[in-house]
Amino acid sequence: MSTFQATGTRVGEPTALTAVVWVRLTAAATRKPGTLAELEGACPGVAGRVRVRYGTREDLRGAQATPWVSVTEATDFTHHFELKNLKPGMRYFYASESDGSEVRGAFQTAPREKAPSDFRFCVMTCQGYPDRGHADGHAIYPAMQALQPAFACLTGDLVYYDNDPPRAETAQLARYHWERMFSLPRLLAFNKSVGTYWLKDDHDTLNDDTWPSKSMGSFTFAEGQKIFRQQAPLSNGPSYRTFRWGRDLQIWLTEGRDFRSPNTMPDGLEKTILGKTQKEWLKRTLRESTATWKVLISPTPLVGPDRAKKNDNHSNVGFQHEGDELRAWFKANVPSNFFVICGDRHWQYHSVHPETGLNEFSVGAASDEHAAGTPGEDKRYHKFHRVKGGFLSVTVKGPTILFEHRDIYGTVVYTYQQS
Ligand SMILES: [Fe+2]
């Protein structure tokens, strides 16, 4: 029986020597057409065997091959191939093969730690389905791809289980949200050919401003954590991690849901978003880093400002204690070469924290239709503020780092450079 790959492939967690290639087998070659009631965009999985061939030649001559692996319903018909012993700073090509289908794609490995950094990367967040702005997927995808980024970061709220119908009150409906979103033609084209780092936030774990122990219908927070691991091209390690990209750049990716206190808890010493272990890891690895530029990519903001009634992130009064602790620590320990890029907020900004000088770039919603929610421009914080969709690109060229906010088509709307 022929098997297909209607949900495409994803390449995650690229390092100088390793990468993860995510594959999933489907019963049909393409997504299901029809209406919402008919579950348009569904891509039912199917059991079968799959392997990946990969190498540095586009025609895959002399390529290496993984063993054939069987996939079943136990993993939602997915498999994460962990490629090892790759060469640093190379463009790799691969083919994901099943009995009856092949997907070809590419990705880049990080340069070795001593090599000067010279590349661009992109960061996006918050993609709704009904308000994606184009039937084939959000305009930011072809716009990001045109910039030929070395990698991209998908910074949470990649599906909206609670807001976008049908509300995912079962694990099965939650999986449908991933099938529908990531089988869109523009997302397929992007994800097979750009290495990515995936972070989750509230709406793609369970529901709005969520924390552990919550549920929505029969769908639980723990199931949400498991499904994200199945759908994202992650390796088996902790959900927080750091990656070195040559001499001049190191990025940190933090986890904002798994370890947090209930948002309803009174603020104080014990209340946390990161949790003790992650916070110690973040401080230790930031202190140890020799990179010219250190960039924290966070699913939620640390500077803001945010709406006064919100109570979910480090810029809100509900988490002020840990927010103040972190901002003061960054000022004391990484005062001049450290930046925060955040997801979650549906407007673009560059803020500088008035007391600590911490720089934060909010990348904004993935479509104009999804943009809203700002408390308004605040000149005490904002160097830039725009209530539209888009994404952020960052260019690192040795001792120079350039942040560019872009609209949904990739046109630059704000730049900030430091040398
Ligand atoms: Fe969002």
Q: Express each pLDDT in 8-45 by its tens digit.
A: 999 999 999 999 999 999 999 999 999 999 999 999 99
Measure 134 CA to ligand 1 centroid, in angstroms: 18
Same fold, 1-109 and 113-418: no
Q: Express each pLDDT in 178-217 by its tens digit.
A: 999 999 999 999 999 999 999 999 999 999 999 999 999 9
Looking at domain 1-109, its CATH architecture is: Sandwich (2.60)
Q: Which two tokens stand for residue 275?
A: 């949790």
Measure 126 CA to ligand 1 centroid, in angstroms: 4
List, as own/partner pairs, every contact residues 309-313 make where C-beta atoms lie below 8 angstroms and the sequence separation is at least 24, other chains included.
311/209, 311/263, 312/202, 312/209, 312/263, 313/256, 313/273, 313/344
What class does CATH assign to 113-418? alpha beta
Tell me the pairing of strands 101-108 and 118-124: unpaired
Per-domain boundaries in the chain: 1-109, 113-418
pTM for the whole structure: 0.98
What does the angle CA 357 – CA 363 – CA 367 come to, to the nearest 5 degrees?
A: 155
Alpha carbon distance 272, 263 (integer Å): 9
Alpha carbon distance 307, 138 (integer Å): 26
Ion ligand 1: residues, CB < 5 A: 126, 157
Rounded alpha-carbon distances, angstroms, from residue 391 to 142, 148, 182, 387, 408: 12, 14, 18, 12, 7
Measure 344 CA to ligand 1 centroid, in angstroms: 5
Measure 372 CA to ligand 1 centroid, in angstroms: 10
Q: Express each pLDDT in 150-185 by its tens digit.
A: 999 999 999 999 999 999 999 999 999 999 999 999
Measure 202 CA to ligand 1 centroid, in angstroms: 8
Measure 59 CA to ligand 1 centroid, in angstroms: 40
Q: Express each pLDDT in 73-126 by its tens digit.
A: 999 999 999 999 999 999 999 999 999 999 999 999 999 999 999 999 999 999
By C-alpha distance, which of 408, 348, 367, 389 is closest to 133?
A: 367
Measure 374 CA to ligand 1 centroid, in angstroms: 12
Measure 265 CA to ligand 1 centroid, in angstroms: 23
